[in-house]
Amino acid sequence: MNYLPGQINLGLQIVILGIVLTAWGLKKARKLILHGALMSVGVALNWISFIIVMGPSLLSLEIVRTQPLHEYSLIAMVHAATGSIALIMGTVIVALWHLQSSPKGCVRRKMAMCATIILWTIALVLGIWFYTILYGY
Ligand code: HEM
């Protein structure tokens, strides 16, 4: 098994975790434009990781097709489902903000942001678990 794409992807996901935590600190400090800008970078990096590594890897996972109820397939599918929803919601939140070019309208989307970050956290934890399964640590 080629470890490199998985390791690079894991590294990228940890960088995104750092971005999300920093963006959360900026929101606490009421620096909302910087918070939104940093979250936009996080969403863009997640798309890159999905397009280059995770999407193609999911399509090549034979076990998901041959044994869909296997524990590994279930982890992969719940990870992919929560990750996809978080990615789409994050993209919509960032896009709506950019269309309005002011953080004011975003206050209404606080609940959506909380739901997105909860799904993203579940996807991240399952993704790290999945990494230990794929690469045997
Ligand atoms: C919020 C979004 C997401 C987060 C935080 C996330 C996080 C992670 C992490 C930390 C890993 C382990 C590193 C690795 O093995 O490459 C991983 C792997 C993986 N993820 Fe995600 N992920 C997300 C979205 C998705 C989506 C949308 C899909 C597919 C629809 C997906 C499918 C996969 C697959 C198949 C792997 C194994 C890649 C490999 O072969 O190494 N992920 N993810």
Nearest partner of 76 among 14, 132, 25, 24, judged by Cα:
132
127 CA distance to ligand 1 middle (Å): 5
135 CA distance to ligand 1 middle (Å): 13
pLDDT of 99 reads 74
Q: Is the CB of 91 under 6 A from ligand 1?
A: no
Handedness of CA 13, 19, 25, 30 (dihedral sign): negative
Q: Which of 21, 53, 54, 82 should be mutated for ligand 1, with most atoms under 8 A from CB?
A: 54
At 126, list the tokens: 């399952």
Residue-wise pLDDT tens for the chain (137 aa)?
Answer: 678 889 999 999 999 999 999 999 999 999 999 999 999 999 999 999 999 999 999 999 999 999 999 999 999 999 999 999 999 999 999 999 987 777 788 888 999 999 999 999 999 999 999 999 999 75
Which residues are CB-contacts of 122 (< 8 A; sequence separation ≥ 6)?
A: 78, 82
pLDDT of 101 reads 72
Predicted model pTM: 0.93
Q: Is the CB of 97 under 6 A from ligand 1?
A: no
